[in-house]
A and B are shown apart, each in its own frame.
Chain A
């Protein structure tokens, strides 16, 4: 099993550009999450989803959007990229509410 797969692994954006980080999982997990990690700051929850069609904001949702049309996919959309969005983004999924999180390998985004 592939687990949680994120693409792309690296991306450089110019200020004002938009892009989508893709996340897919093959474990049939209902719960999916997007975190960002800045150096020395731990993981900050951006958005999460408890099932297809249901999403909710986390700690730092501004500047991002998500959708969950299928159980497998949970893309993260960045609109009008800003330097403050330079970070490493992790997608994760879990089978149970408050269950073990399975993380993807991460996507390193730089906004210049």
Chain B
């Protein structure tokens, strides 16, 4: 039931774009995205709900394809501060127990 993230790791130069994918084998009610920097706790980025709109925050946005049970996180014009590990969390709509993927490590170089 753990969602699958791809790629596992990506290296970018400042200003480049990246897409991180998250897919599940079960029907989804919501998809969460978090970013974690080394040695710190995960920090919330956004939630996408079934039937909801695509979310966005500055240069980070995400989409949710309910039929394909997939979500994608889009990072445009990446900045050094975007470096970290990105996790998607999925919820099947039962009791709110969020299950996370293994993460995608993003490194942004000058």
Contacts and interface: CB of A to CB of B under 8 A. Distances in A.
Interface of A: 31, 33, 35, 40-45, 48, 50, 56, 58-59, 90, 94, 97-106
A99 to B, nearest CB: 7
Interface in B50-102: 87, 89, 91, 93, 95-102
A99 B48 CA distance: 10
Interface of B: 2, 29-30, 32, 34, 40-44, 47, 49, 87, 89, 91, 93, 95-103
Contacts of B103: 40, 42
B47 A100 contact: yes
Contacts of B34: 101
Contact of B32 (A56, A59, A101): A101
Contacts of A42: 2, 87, 100-103
Given A43-B100, A97-B96, A98-B93, 13 more contacts: A40-B102, A42-B2, A42-B101, A43-B42, A43-B89, A45-B97, A48-B97, A58-B97, A98-B29, A100-B32, A102-B44, A103-B43, A104-B41
B91 A98 contact: yes
A90 B102 contact: no
B99 A99 contact: no
Contacts of A104: 41
13 contacts: A31-B96, A40-B103, A42-B100, A42-B103, A43-B87, A44-B100, A45-B98, A48-B97, A98-B30, A98-B49, A98-B93, A100-B32, A100-B47
Contacts of B100: 35, 42-45
Contacts of B42: 43, 90, 101, 103
A92 B40 CA distance: 13
A102 to B, nearest CB: 8
